[in-house]
Amino acid sequence: MFDTTTPAAPVVPTRGRLRPLGLDEVSITGGFWGERQAVNGSATLAHIESRLESEGWLPNFDLAAAGSLPAGRRGREFSDSEIYKYLEALAWEIGRTDAGADDDLERRFRRIVERVGAAQEPDGYLDTMFGRAGQDERWTALQWGHELYCLGHLFQAAVARIRTRPEADDGLIDIARRAADLVCREFGADGRDAICGHSEVEVGLAELGRALGERRYIDQAALFVERHGRGSLGEIEWGRSYFQDDVSVRDAEALRGHAVRANYLASGATDVAVERDDAALLDALRGQWDRTVERRTYVTGGQGSHHQDEAFGDDWELPPDRAYSETCAGIGSVMFSWRLLLATGEAQYADLIERTLFNVVATSPGSDGRSFFYANTLHQRTPGIPADPDATSPRASSSLRAPWFEVSCCPPNVARTFASLAAYVATADDDGVQLHQYAPAQVRTSLPDGRAVAFDVATGYPVDGTIRITVVEDAEFVLTLRVPSWASGAALRVTTGAGVSEEPVLPGTVAVERAFRVGDVVELVLPLVARVSTPDPMIDAVRGCVVVERGPEVWALESVDFGADVAEAVVAGDPVEVEGRVALPLRRRSSGDVATVPLVPYHDWAQRGPSTMRVWVPTV
């Protein structure tokens, strides 16, 4: 069992190999992720709130409180969930910045909670789409209605508030508790034998149960997990796998169907497996992760190759030009991988988190923090069309980033992820601290026996490959560092009062165990050089192509640099580097001319206007 002190983190299991360190123990102080957190806090959050207001999704709660629905309701059946994700993002940002009671963030948070609470029914029911005169009755549209999905996000928002401001009197925690109690009454063992068409309530209930010490919420999450695979949601044109309702979670061999639903369900099932000490269920989920990553995940970490149903394809079905790779699916993948990492301590899960964060999550928002990709193609065949900054865009347009979408799940999902990102950096166990993601940071925590561990991380990652950890408090502990799977040739250097030692290290993890003194330095030196990767021969869509990677980043070719449509490009040599930037010798098909052309990190593509783009470049 872990120490009873609860970190300010989205996921806090009661058992497992590792304990997460929360925002109260880890802070990102700059660099790649620090910049994105700053933009998220200064621009993205306000942008989201403005659009939630102008689109009418927040005012829906006012209409509900006034008793005037359904007249005037705007947005899709799941629009309530965006308000809850936004509240979660605000809660993490308040915790990250240590905002006080008079801070604008806190005032905004409380105003929205007041509007949400006013719409809740006396028995705990909360949804602006169902249950009133002129609307469909409660729980009668579970296939597509998203009532439980929305409540799952409400529960996660409450968890963020509990973990960052446990003594808050705004009422959100009570709102969530009343709704969760209703769900347990309606869908418990003696209630409706049903599930939601979009998994999420499982994750929300499990974590709310942990946060409040309510075992019955975790038991309800387990009921929902075990009910998948019975076909209770009915048949649709894409098959029951769309809802993960074709086979049980225990019997599935890979993630399938709608990619966001699949990852959310797998995350909730992992929570259930851990809390119930269900080794068989955990092993099944680990097997699904293995096959999904090997055969159904893009080089960027993106998941979902079907546009029509936002779904995983079959094994090896990974066409770059048809990649859907929804931003929310990438976030769901991070959620699933993080839970498996906490349960097992295995570095492969942190490797995928890193790949997905840099090449999916970081790709979605524009540099201004006010425009987003919903889907993340790996091959743009026609130049994009600039989005109207005042318009609402169709969700799946692979064009240029748009300010808002008719289905706008991605912007608040990105916001809550960035605001809570420090909680995915490091963990602890009885013996020490483990660093999984690399960014300039401060780590201040205590081990279960009371030993204080304190160190600072300095790095220019991912441009520079040196991660420098400086101890700022005397302590004997084990410092474990992840060595990424691509980092062949990495080295570890330890500098103490006794001198300097250096040794090569292999991909996986490396541990330094010693009585550290203030000023001791541990450096992990990763070989950040451009490398060419070839696809698995089973992926027929990219045979004869290569991709350029450098560290955790995938690099892309844009027509704005090539000077022609990227369909003209053929690889003509090995990549070259100049001060952390990558270029690739390319030949034009039509002329035979060869030139060395700059590439851009994939997360930066389409920042300079319309262009064609590709990640996989032909060699012939």
Q: Which helix (H) or strand (E) holds 416?
A: helix 410-419
Residue range 322-358, pLDDT digits in tens: 999 999 999 999 999 999 999 999 999 999 999 999 9
Helix/strand/coil (H/E/C) assignment for every residue in 145-173: CCHHHHHHHHHHHHHHHHHHCCCCCCCHH
Tokens of 411: 């912007």
- Phi and psi at 47, nearest 5°, equal -60, -45
Distance CA 288, CA 400 (A): 33
pLDDT score recorded for residue 2: 33
Residue range 479-512, pLDDT digits in tens: 999 999 999 999 999 999 999 999 999 999 999 9
Q: Where in the chain is the domain with CATH 2.60.40?
A: 426-525
Distance CA 276, CA 278 (A): 5
Coil/strand/helix, residue 414: helix
Mean of the per-residue pLDDT values of the chain: 96
Distance CA 596, CA 590 (A): 17
pLDDT score recorded for residue 332: 98
Average pLDDT over residues 538-549: 97
Using omega within 30 degrees of 0 as the cis cutoff, is the peptide bond preceding 598 cis? no
pLDDT band at 1 (very low <50, low <70, confident <90, very high): very low
Strands 499-505 and 441-446, bridge-based pairing: unpaired
Distance CA 281, CA 17 (A): 16
Percent of the chain with pLDDT over 90: 95
Average pLDDT over residues 541-564: 98
pLDDT score recorded for residue 410: 96
Coil/strand/helix, residue 31: helix
Average pLDDT over residues 593-606: 97
Q: Where in the chain is the domain with CATH 1.50.10.20?
A: 248-379+392-424
Residue range 210-254, pLDDT digits in tens: 999 999 999 999 999 999 999 999 999 999 999 999 999 999 999
Tokens of 493: 């250097």
Could you tell me which residue, 387 or 377, shows the higher pLDDT? 377
Residue range 89-115, pLDDT digits in tens: 999 999 999 999 889 999 999 999 999
pLDDT band at 385 (very low <50, low <70, confident <90, very high): confident
Q: Which of 164, 276, 147 is nearest to 223 (CA)?
A: 276
Tokens of 193: 């034998």
Q: Which fold has domain 248-379+392-424?
A: Glycosyltransferase (1.50.10)
Q: Which of 332, 434, 443, 324 is nearest to 377 (CA)?
A: 324
**Cβ neighbours of residue 321 under 8 Å, at least 6 residues apart?**
377, 378, 379, 380, 381
pTM of model > 0.85:
yes
- pLDDT at 176 > cutoff 80: yes
**Cβ neighbours of residue 191 under 8 Å, at least 6 residues apart?**
185
Average pLDDT over residues 305-310: 95
Q: How many CB atoms lie within 10 A of CB 343?
A: 21
- pLDDT at 463 > cutoff 80: yes
Residue range 386-417, pLDDT digits in tens: 888 888 988 655 578 999 999 999 999 999 99
How far out from the chain centre does Cα 437 lie? Answer: 14
Distance CA 206, CA 264 (A): 12
pLDDT score recorded for residue 397: 57
Percent of the chain with pLDDT over 70: 99
pLDDT score recorded for residue 580: 78
Q: Which fold has domain 426-525?
A: Immunoglobulin-like (2.60.40)
* Cα separation of the two ends of the chain: 56
Q: Which of 338, 420, 418, 369 is nearest to 95 (CA)?
A: 420
- pLDDT at 589 > cutoff 80: yes
pLDDT score recorded for residue 396: 59
- pLDDT at 600 > cutoff 80: yes
Query: Sign of the CA dihedral 117, 121, 126, 129?
Result: negative
Contact 400, 433 (CB under 8 A): no
pLDDT score recorded for residue 398: 54
- pLDDT at 70 > cutoff 50: yes
